[in-house]
């Protein structure tokens, strides 16, 4: 019968799965040039993320390294599993079984966490670039509409035209950024799908904090180091003495791992809390800017009607139209900031 001290090493949650498997699933890399198309292809935000993950060389290198670690650790786990507990008489024997098994488990999970950290970073970069393009497209649309609304004015809306030109330059830069992440030609155009997170339900802070502790790659690494250090102490305590030099070193390693885990939690609390508060603030800003935009549209519609009935001067109408364009731009900006705040929060908690 296995000791309670080491039961978690051979729990069915991880080791049984590892020992029963002959392979582990990792994302594969495929770097290929897309065929020329006569029509603009559609691209969803999820498809963009998938393209980035499949084509990233650094992620592929991590996958290869993690796969090698997995198979090497699998051999260690099989060897340690074959050693029966009633055949262990010395500390060296116990370390060969329990310490090496714990180290193998730690290495597998740490490598997976390293991969997940890069995947999360890539995903956030793609999402931000995608959302930026959508935002710029909407701003370009608003400025074109503003220019069209000025058809009744003797001179063109030069300010809107200049702003439109700058927006189109920014759009080209944002498109190149997205295409760079997904390994496509810098100027390749896409028919992007509408995407926003206005229906996202912000969880309670305690739930967000707990999720971050459980899923963040840095937290997983810190916790695995603590578990490994704990096993080393338990092995020495059972088969030797923690008062020996080895025991004192093991206890110091455990204290260090616990301190580093707490420091990681503090860093997570600070980062995630800041991102959480940004979502709260961005939600308020977006709701206010949307209301302001709706009010500005109503004011312009009424002013246009009054202008036709000669109740409002041309200069007054121009001023009201400018306020409408400004409110449309601010509403688009606030929606973009809100969406970015949400995806950043999700990434920071490991989702």
Write the pLDDT tens digit of every residue in 250-285: 999 999 999 999 999 999 999 999 999 999 999 999
Rounded to two decimals, what is the model's pTM?
0.84
141-197 pLDDT, tens digit each: 999 999 888 877 766 567 778 889 999 999 999 999 999 999 999 999 999 999 989
Instruction: Tell me the C-alpha distance between 91 and 304, whole Å.
Output: 89
Instruction: Tell me the C-alpha distance between 238 and 97, whole Å.
Output: 13
* Arithmetic mean of pLDDT, 89-97: 89
Element (H, E) at 43: strand 42-43
Q: Which CATH architecture has domain 4-22+39-348?
A: Up-down Bundle (1.20)
Instruction: Tell me the C-alpha distance between 304 and 312, whole Å.
Output: 8
Instruction: Tell me the C-alpha distance between 145 and 138, whole Å.
Output: 11
């Amino acid at each position: 019968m296995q000791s309670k001290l080491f039961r978690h090493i051979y729990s069915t949650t991880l080791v049984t799965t590892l020992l029963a498997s002959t392979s582990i699933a990792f994302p594969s890399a495929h770097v290929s040039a897309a065929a020329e198309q006569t029509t603009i292809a559609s691209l969803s935000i999820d498809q963009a993320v998938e393209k980035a993950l499949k084509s990233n060389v650094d992620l592929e290198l991590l996958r290869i390294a993690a796969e090698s670690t997995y198979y090497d650790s699998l051999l260690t786990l099989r060897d340690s599993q074959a050693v029966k507990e009633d055949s262990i008489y010395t500390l060296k024997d116990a370390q060969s079984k329990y310490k090496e098994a714990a180290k193998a488990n730690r290495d597998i999970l740490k490598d997976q966490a390293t991969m997940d950290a890069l995947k999360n970073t890539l995903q956030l970069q793609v999402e931000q670039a995608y959302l930026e393009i959508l935002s710029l497209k909407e701003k370009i649309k608003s400025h074109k509409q503003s220019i069209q609304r000025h058809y009744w004015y003797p001179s063109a809306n030069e300010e809107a035209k200049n702003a439109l030109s700058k927006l189109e330059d920014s759009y080209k830069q944002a498109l190149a950024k997205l295409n760079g992440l997904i390994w496509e030609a810098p100027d390749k155009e896409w028919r992007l799908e509408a995407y926003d997170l206005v229906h996202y339900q912000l969880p309670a802070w305690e739930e967000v904090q707990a999720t971050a502790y459980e899923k963040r790659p840095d937290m997983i690494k810190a916790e695995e180091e603590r578990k490994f250090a704990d096993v080393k102490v338990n092995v020495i305590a059972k088969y030797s003495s923690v008062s020996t030099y080895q025991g004192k070193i093991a206890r110091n390693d455990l204290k260090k791992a616990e301190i580093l885990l707490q420091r990681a939690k503090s860093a997570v609390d600070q980062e995630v809390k800041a991102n959480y508060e940004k979502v709260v603030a961005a939600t308020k800003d977006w709701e206010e800017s949307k209301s302001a935009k709706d009010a500005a549209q109503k004011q312009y519609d009424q002013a246009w009607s009054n202008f036709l009935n000669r109740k409002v001067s041309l200069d007054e109408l121009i001023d009201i139209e400018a306020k409408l364009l400004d409110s449309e731009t601010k509403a688009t900006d606030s929606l973009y900031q809100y969406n970015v705040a949400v995806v950043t929060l999700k990434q920071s908690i490991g989702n």
